[in-house]
Amino acid sequence: MAGTVIDHGIRLEREGGTPALSISAKKNSVLTSHGRPPWYGEAGQRICDAFVISVAGSIPTVIILSQDSFYKYHTEEELALAHANLLDFDHPDALDMPMFAACLADLKACKQSNIPIYSFSEHQRLEETKYLYGATVIIAEGIMALVDPALRALYDLKVFVQCDSDLMLARRIKRDVKERGRSVDGILDQYLRYVKPSYDNFVRPTAAYADLIVPGSNNDIAIELLCTHVREKLQERASRFRQKIAIPHLYLPSSSGASTPDSTIEELGLHVLPQTNQIQGIFTILRDKDTNRQDFIFFTDRLATLLVEHALQFLPYAPKNVVTPVQAEYQGQVQDAKNVCGVIIMRSGGALERGFRRVINDVPIGSLLVQSDFTSGDPLLLQVMLPKYVRLRHLAEETWVFLLDAQIGTAAAAFMAIRVLLDHGVKEEHIIFIAFLVARTGGISVLKNAFPKVQIVCGAVDESMREGWMDGYKGEGNPDGRGRAVWLMQPGMGQIGAYLDIYFTSPNFPILTDVQVIATTFEMDMGFRTVYILF
């Protein structure tokens, strides 16, 4: 059951042979069928590049990068020519190949890229750019994709699709009339003047560089071969590491080489809120299974406010002199971080949002949706919605990010979120992680080893993690209704972690498989009190 390439519609196939899921993909888009599994190792380093092929695929988290986006910016004269159909768009020089290669190289290195947007009706590169991030597979697509040697060097697999030229012309007329608002005369003129010679001179010769030449029709077998190859390559790169980090002392040697059972709070370098009467009282209420929802919300807000206040001390401060209304001079200080933003790890990190907003005025907040895989329990990155300060690399380098999550247990989601921020160019020492609870013997020690400069602020530290079993249900991706192992913190505060887990895996809630469903969840989430709706 291979995916089939039909125009630009790409059929996605789920592992395990379940019915294929059809998504019609646009150019320069990110396709996800089931989220993005870890692309880094226990030490936090990136262990694999994205896999770059140059035509088609059918695996989770695919970015399609189209050559069409990289037409050069036109001057006034060129623009006039273009509107008269007199500009040669089918010559390699019409494309900004260095920019194409730079964007592809960034994406391949798992960084974000803000690619240009080209308007075919205006014949011009637009002001805005499109943000792309998080590919497991990148498909670079376009007739000139194999022309430039710098681009060729980046591809892992080069595919040339050979097609009958009558068929190509027919498709071209259909497309340009319908999608690009051109006249048939103009199209034909352009075809004979530029397209055809260009194909003969530039495109067809590049077939020699291809690893695989696929026929443009009746290509089921070729695509099956292609898919098998890509799947094999991805399997080689797969990283299953949640088990390892959840109970680290069983798997990872301690720094001294001795078989130490686990780390103390001091060694972990955690910043725990002073355990005052009020903090202890708040935690008692939050941990109590009989606490009603209203109280739970009120006290999570209160605790979140205190945590964020405590965390702010790790921002930089600089001297500032002011004059008070009684005309006295005061040598004070001012917070000196250039950009500050928050990133919530959905779902349960949403519980910290209100406290965060109470403390930092008008702060941009983004979110990452990380969910456990139903079978392996590995974290999957399902949705990335980051503030501008992180999306744009030159801003990210000067941005301080508060990562918000209810608890750090196995630390798998925290690990993934920190990796996402580092990929974007945020400095490790500019990341401050805020959580209600941290499990001392859980993944925290691996997290601290991997990212020692990340400051972690928490309300309390729980002793241990216990392996539990969450009942499965029959459904897509889990036809046998298998349950899966979960890690529970002891004593824990259940509600935030487990209640949400139950919510998201209950039969009443659709599994988050395609982009549509994720989008709806986020609309709910934007409504401020999300997490509470979810209880």
Partner 1 sequence: MASSQPPRAPVAPPQPANADNTNLAHLNPLPQSVFTLPQTAQLEALYTIIRDKETSRGDFLFYSDRIIRLLVEEGLNHLPVVSRTIETPTGAKYEGVGFLGKICGVSILRAGEAMEAGLREVCRSVRIGKILIQRDEETAQPKLFYSKFPPDIASRYVLLLDPMLATGGSAIKAVEVIKENGVPEERIIFINLISAPEGLKTFTSRYPAVKVITGWIDQGLNEKAYIIPGLGDFGERRYCT
Q: Which residues bind partner 1 (CB under 8 A)?
A: 254-256, 258, 260, 263-264, 266-271, 276-278, 280-281, 283-284, 287-290, 298, 302, 305-306, 309, 312-317, 319-320, 322-326, 328-335, 358-359, 361, 448, 452-453, 455, 466, 468, 488-495, 498-499
Matching residue, tokens 């709070």: 265
Residue 26 CB: number of other CB atoms within 10 A?
A: 11
Matching residue, tokens 């009190």: 529
Nearer to partner 1, 208 or 318 (CB): 318
Question: CA-to-CA distance for 519 and 385, rounded, in angstroms?
Answer: 11
Q: Running DSSP on this structure, what letter comes out for residue 265?
A: H
From the CB of 303, what's the least distance to partner 1, in Å? 10
394 near 111, Cβ under 8 Å? no
Nearer to partner 1, 110 or 359 (CB): 359
At position 262, the amino acid (one-letter code) is D
Nearer to partner 1, 332 or 479 (CB): 332
Nearer to partner 1, 162 or 335 (CB): 335
Pairing between strand 455-462 and 270-272?
Answer: parallel
From the CB of 350, what's the least distance to partner 1, in Å? 18
411 near 210, Cβ under 8 Å? no
462 near 492, Cβ under 8 Å? yes
From the CB of 268, what's the least distance to partner 1, in Å? 7
Which residue from 24, 5, 21 is spatially nearest to 13, judged by alpha carbons? 21
From the CB of 498, what's the least distance to partner 1, in Å? 6
Q: How far is CA 233 from CA 65, 87, 103, 361, 509, in A?
A: 20, 41, 23, 47, 33
Nearer to partner 1, 3 or 442 (CB): 442
From the CB of 370, what's the least distance to partner 1, in Å? 21
Nearer to partner 1, 16 or 281 (CB): 281
From the CB of 255, what's the least distance to partner 1, in Å? 6
The contacts of residue 455 (CB under 8 Å, 6+ apart) are: 271, 311, 314, 431, 432, 433
From the CB of 269, what's the least distance to partner 1, in Å? 5
From the CB of 278, what's the least distance to partner 1, in Å? 5
Nearer to partner 1, 92 or 269 (CB): 269
Give 465's strand partners: 489
Nearer to partner 1, 243 or 291 (CB): 291
Nearer to partner 1, 45 or 335 (CB): 335
Sign of the Cα torsion 410, 491, 352, 524 reads positive
Pairing between strand 113-119 and 51-53?
Answer: unpaired
Which residue from 454, 428, 458 is spatially nearest to 440, judged by alpha carbons? 458
Nearer to partner 1, 100 or 499 (CB): 499
Tokens of 64: 């399609």
From the CB of 245, what's the least distance to partner 1, in Å? 17
Tokens of 58: 């059918």
Tokens of 523: 């609309």
From the CB of 25, what's the least distance to partner 1, in Å? 42
Residue 202 CB: number of other CB atoms within 10 A?
A: 16
Question: CA-to-CA distance for 34 and 60, rounded, in angstroms?
Answer: 6
